[in-house]
Every structure is written in structure tokens, then in C-alpha cells.
Structure 1
Amino acid sequence: MITITQKAAEKVMEIATAEELLGQGLRLRVVGGGCAGFSYDLYFEDKPTEFDEEFEDRGIKLYIDPLSFQYLDGTEIDYVEGLHGSGFKFSNPSVKSTCGCGSSFSV
């Protein structure tokens, strides 16, 4: 299962409203790249494919392809703000290490 915090859900709704994307779900996937091997990709999408895992948490629809799901099961999506910027943070139990800048991971 994939979950999203209240703060992250509020930020997703804020972005969806500003970009006129209400009603769309979030596509979450793992892509190859970065210095540690994998990185997250998160964007709005109209509807899932027939192969996707679908979740809904706090009113946010999440779509995950089967390949990405094997790396994402149990992940929590949060939104953080700090001195060094703000953005979505992924708490993923499958991650074994991350790169120094925190933008990629390995399993």
C-alpha cells in the first residue's frame, strides 16, 4: 500500500487547483537514474492503465505501474518545507541507501 500525509495531500490539491487538474490522479513511478541508481517521478495523469495498482488516500488517487510498485510498496509520501527548499519526501522501506544530495536511491 502507498500512503500520503495530510500535508502532502493538501499540497497536491493546491497544485491541482492552481493547474486546473482537479479530478486527475498522481502517477508515482521509479525511474533509473541519479547517482544511486533510481529516482522518483511524480506527475498528474487522467486515468490509470489496466495494469496499474491504484490507491486512494486522503482523497488523492495514486497510480503505480507494476514494475515501480515492487520498489514502492509501503512508501509514505510527505511534503516538507525547510531552509534548503521544499518538496515531496518519500519514506520508502525498500531503500537501502541514498545519494549525498538525496535525489536518488538504491534498493
Structure 2
Amino acid sequence: MTITLTEAAAYEVKDMMEKNGMPDGYLKISVKGGGCTGLSYGMSAEEAPGENDEILTFYGVKVLVDQTDAPILKGTVVDFKQSLMGGGFAIDNPNAIASCGCGSSFRTREVAGTPENC
């Protein structure tokens, strides 16, 4: 399996999708070039899968991962954590060998991406 969405993350995604009028939508998790370290994560709501998307289901949430991004995301766990300062998604990618100080970008041993000045 490419990624795992925890129950807490699935609950949050379901809530967000319903509030945005997309109860039957998909959560797309992607990787793009950029950030201080070279790669950054993307999460978006989609109405339908793309041609190259793998479809996974966690706790009733349909998740899309493009087959191009799958090797970079293999083994990744997406969680939602709540704290006194609010909540947010936490992404734990075992393939990331370096990340920037703010934690919003990363690189893997095989893919360095395209770093930008931060």
C-alpha cells in the first residue's frame, strides 16, 4: 500500500469534504517540486480520479495517489493532530532523508526535487 490515512485524519477529511459540498469527493495526496529542501506535499479535494491515480479507501475516505508519486510516498502515514494551538495534518514519510526547518518540504535518497529559496 502506498500510504495510510489514520482514523483521525479520515474523520477530519470527511468533515472538510462535507463542509465544502463534496461528500462523495476524493482526497488527492501528491508530491511536487519546491520548498527549501526540494519536494513538498500537496493535498486537494477532487471530484473524480485522474487517469494515473491509484484509489485507496480509509475509514470511508477515498484517497488518490498518482502512480508517479507512489514510490516517493510508499509507507507514508497521514495523521491529524490536535493541540492547544489548533490542529493540522502530520505526514510521516519513511523515505524522507532530509526536511527543512519548518517541516513543509523534504527530499528522498532518489529524488531531490527542485529547491527554492525560503
TM range (shorter): over 0.9
Question: Does structure 1 retain, via aligned residues, the 8 Å contact 2:27–2:62?
Answer: yes
Q: Name which one, 1 or 2, has greater alpha-carbon Rg.
A: 2
Distance (Å, rounded) in 1 between the aligned partners of 2:104 and 2:83: 16
Q: Which runs of 4+ in 1 moved over 3 A?
A: none
Distance (Å, rounded) in 1 between the aligned partners of 2:101 and 2:22: 34
Q: How many residues align?
A: 107
3-state SS of paired residue (1:43) = strand
In percent, how many aligned pairs have the same letter? Answer: 38
Per-residue deviation, 1:15: 0.5
> RMSD across aligned C-alpha pairs, in angstroms?
1.2
Q: What runs of 5+ residues in structure 2 fail to find an aligned partner?
A: 109-118
Question: Does structure 1 retain, via aligned residues, the 8 Å contact 2:7–2:58?
Answer: no
Per-residue deviation, 1:80: 1.3
3-state SS of paired residue (2:8) = helix
Q: How does 1:7-86 map to 2 (within 5 A)?
A: 7-86=8-87
Q: TM-score, normalised by structure 1?
A: 0.93
Judging by fraction of residues, say which structure has more strand: 2
Q: TM-score, normalised by structure 2?
A: 0.84
Q: Which residue of structure 1 aligns with residue 116 of structure 2?
A: none
3-state SS of paired residue (2:91) = strand
